Every structure is written in C-alpha cells, then in structure tokens.
Amino acid sequence: MKQTIDISKPSKLRIAWEDAKDYPVVVHRDWTAKRTRSRNATERRRSETLKHHPLYWDAKKRGDYIAAQEIVDDLICEDAMLRICGHMGDKSPLIVAPSLTKEDPSNVIPVSFAHSIAYELSLNVCHDIYQRDTAHRTGRGGFYRLAFSPEFYGKVIEGQDYIIVDDVATMGGTLAALRSFIEGHGGNVVCMSVLADSNMKARVGMQGLSRDFNLNASTDDIKRVESKHGKRLNEFWERHNGYGIDCLTARETDFLHFFEREHNIERCILEEKRATHYKLGAGNDNVMNVKSVAAPVVRSA
C-alpha cells in the first residue's frame, strides 16, 4: 500500500544519482535559434522557439495563463510525446511542475505544460509538491545557478512514479533538485520533459537530431572534475551547498571542468552568495536564503 509522506520542513537539496539509472530529459523545442545568412530562415526557426514566441513575455512576466496555454499548444511536439510514452511504459506517473502555489503567476508556463501532457497522456497532475522560494534563475549565469539550488516541500506518495516537467532546461539544477526531493522521500522519477532547451550546441539545420539528453552526471563526469580540482572542491561544495559534487548534473560538471583552478570556482560562488544576500535581504521569505556567508572585507581609507 502506498503511503503519503508529508514533508513540511526543509530537506537535503540534492541526493546522489542512482547507479545504473539514467534520467532522460525529453525536449520539445529550442529556447532560441541562431542567426543564419538567410533572414527568412532565421525568422522561420525563431518562430518555433520559446524565447521568440509572441506571447512568451505575457506569460512569463505577467502570469497570463491564457498566453501560457497558447504557447504550450504551439510548441508541444508530437514526437516528443511519443518518446515520453516510451519512457513511461505501462506506468501511470503523476505530472509535477515547479511552482510556488497552485495559482503561482511566476510559473504559468510549466504548469500549463504539465496539464497539457497530463491531458494528452490521460494522466493526473500532482498538486502536492511546491517550490519553497523563488530562485530568480532566469537570465542568471552559471555560478549563480550553482550557488543556489531550489528547495521543495509537500507530499510525496511512496512508491509513486512521477514525470517532472519545466519550461526551460539550462544546467538542469531545478530538475535535479525536484528529482532529489521526490526520490529522497520514496517516489520514483520515470523521466523529465522541458518545453525548450537553452543548450543548442550544433543542432542548427539538423532537423532529425534528437534534442533529448540525460540529466545525471555519469561516474566519468564526476571523476573528471575530481581529477582536475581535487577533493577540496567537493569539501567546499558540501560545506556551502549542503551536498557533494556527486549530486551535480552532467551540464554542471561540464561547466566546472572548464575552469583551471578550484579557487576561481570557490571565489565566484561565494561572490554570488554575498551579492544576493545583500541585494535581496536575508529576511525576505520569498527569496533563496543565504546562510553562513561571510561579509565582504571593508578596508578603511
């Protein structure tokens, strides 16, 4: 018999990936389109992306549910829906999207996306899991995303299968945090899906190339970061973020591997924490809390 676990207090933001299990992310569209020599070709490709949809900012900034639903109807991809069905098999998962409340105006696109997938696949939407605070990740750089991981709370049904959906995938931090919350409390994530992927790489002009990717970092990805930066980086991560680098996504490990020394990574992450701490204020309940961050050194004249 399935049990519902009610989690009202903050939990560990990330847990390590399960061995021998991949977490596929099914992608419907690109976030944007690169410019080409042909203006008509560029405009045609951009018309099929999320960023350049004429109703995107109405939905994203104004919380317009009607605009959000029109965006989803225009961009949802039949081939991607078939790939989701392939990952589901004969299971009946719940569809869950990151949102602060049922009527959260800041995340109307993911919520509309969740309802559309549930309708098309004759599934139900989960209304029992919510994001604890606003992460303010849209348009932010990689170090900000690494410094702040979203936190979730609510009810998880033990043994229940889930499909996580969101509007855009960048480094995958939100998907990883929500997956950690669900599986850390007895649920099972079958797969994930995003309406758009911001990591275009070399897909321009390659219509048959699948946009899908695996969210989890492989053992080789983790070892590659460890061999380059040593154990000190993992100790820093556990001390300041509350989890180790074995919980990072594949795209996050790629980002870290780019840097030559771990000191640069540590400095950049601490600077993001300090800047956000003083800009937003630690007492605001609707922003990411910043703990154990030393104040910047003030030098006398």
Query: DSSP letters along 176-230, please?
Result: HHHHHHHHHTT-EEEEEEEEEES--TT-TT-TTS---EE-BPPHHHHHHHHHHH-
- Cα(261)–Cα(266) distance, integer angstroms: 9
- Residues in contact with 83: Cβ distance below 8 Å, sequence separation at least 6, in sequence order: 26, 212
Residue 37 has a pLDDT of 55
What is the rounded radius of gyration, in angstroms, for the C-alpha atoms of the chain? 20
Q: Which residue has the higher pLDDT, 285 or 242?
A: 242
Rounded mean pLDDT, 289-293: 40
Residue 9 burial (CB count, 10 A): 5
Asked whether the beta carbons of 194 and 28 are under 8 A apart, the reply is yes
Residue 211 has a pLDDT of 81
Residue 173 burial (CB count, 10 A): 25
Residue 201 has a pLDDT of 54
Rounded mean pLDDT, 206-233: 84
- Cα(23)–Cα(215) distance, integer angstroms: 6
Instruction: Look up residue 289 and give its two tokens.
Output: 């809390």
- Residues in contact with 256: Cβ distance below 8 Å, sequence separation at least 6, in sequence order: 146, 225, 229, 233, 245, 248, 265
Rounded mean pLDDT, 225-249: 91
Instruction: Look up residue 160 and give its two tokens.
Output: 């229940």
The one-letter amino acid code at 251 reads R
Residue 297 has a pLDDT of 32
Report the run of H or E that residue 130 belongs to, with start and end.
strand 129-131
Could you tell me which of 97, 98, 90 has the C-alpha nearest to residue 121? 90
Could you tell me which of 180, 191, 173, 204 has the C-alpha nearest to residue 80? 191
Residue 294 has a pLDDT of 38
Residue 259 has a pLDDT of 81
Query: Could you tell me what percent of the chain has a pLDDT over 90?
Result: 53
Task: Answer whether residue 247 shows pLDDT above 80.
Answer: yes
- Cα(187)–Cα(161) distance, integer angstroms: 6
CATH of 19-214, one of 3.40.50, 2.60.40, 1.20.1050, 3.30.70: 3.40.50
Could you tell me which of 86, 52, 81, 53 has the C-alpha nearest to residue 69? 53
Task: Answer whether residue 164 shows pLDDT above 90.
Answer: yes
Place of tokens 């004429």: 54
Range name among 12-16, 159-163, 243-247 with the lowest pLDDT average: 12-16
Could you tell me which of 298, 210, 291, 217 has the C-alpha nearest to residue 256? 217
Domain ranges for the chain = 19-214, 219-280
Residue 90 burial (CB count, 10 A): 4
